[in-house]
Structure 1
Amino acid sequence: MSSKDPCIGVCKFDDDVCVGCGRSKREIKGWKKMDKGERRQVLAESHLRLLALAATGRRKKK
């Protein structure tokens, strides 16, 4: 899994989670300061969030 910024330019939030990339506002704000391990953890968690949003029909695509 790449630690490249996962932003797809949607930037709309459902609660505190971006429906485009699955990251929280805190994670988005701190992305540039995170090391590779932290980024991988955020990406894994955001993937699960996106799956949950897709299951409820709230996931947005680019």
Structure 2
Amino acid sequence: MSPQQQQQSPVPSPCISLCEMAPDTGLCRGCLRTIDEIVQWGSADDDYKRAVWAEIRRREADMEFR
């Protein structure tokens, strides 16, 4: 898929229906989003959603090194 096609496609939700906030990190254990990111997702534009996905990937990488 070309970068242009990716930007035109809807950005999928990272939710995997494993919704539990971890008190030590403030992140959902399933999707690694903050509560603010979860609340804003439904009304957010695709640029915001892509930025959240980038942050999720960064968080995943950080967790692998712990």
- Which structure has the higher relative contact order (CA within 8 Å, separation 6+)? 1
TM-score normalised by the chain length of structure 1? 0.73
Q: Which stretch of the first structure deviates more once superposed, 2-11 or 23-32? A: 2-11
Q: CA deviation at 1:24?
A: 0.5
| In structure 1, C-alpha distance between the alignment counterparts of 2:59 and 2:14, rounded to whole Å | 13
Partner of 1:11: 19
Partner of 2:50: 40
Q: Write out the 4+ residue segments of structure 1 that deviate beyond 6 Å after TM superposition.
A: none
Q: CA deviation at 1:52?
A: 2.2
> Is residue 43 of structure 2 the alignment partner of residue 21 of structure 1?
no
**In angstroms, what is the RMSD of aligned CA positions?**
1.8
Number of residues of Structure 1 aligned to a counterpart in Structure 2: 56
TM-score normalised by the chain length of structure 2? 0.69
Which blocks of at least 5 consecutive residues in structure 2 are unaligned?
A: 1-5
Query: What is the aligned-residue identity percentage?
Result: 30
Which blocks of at least 5 consecutive residues in structure 1 are unaligned?
A: 57-62
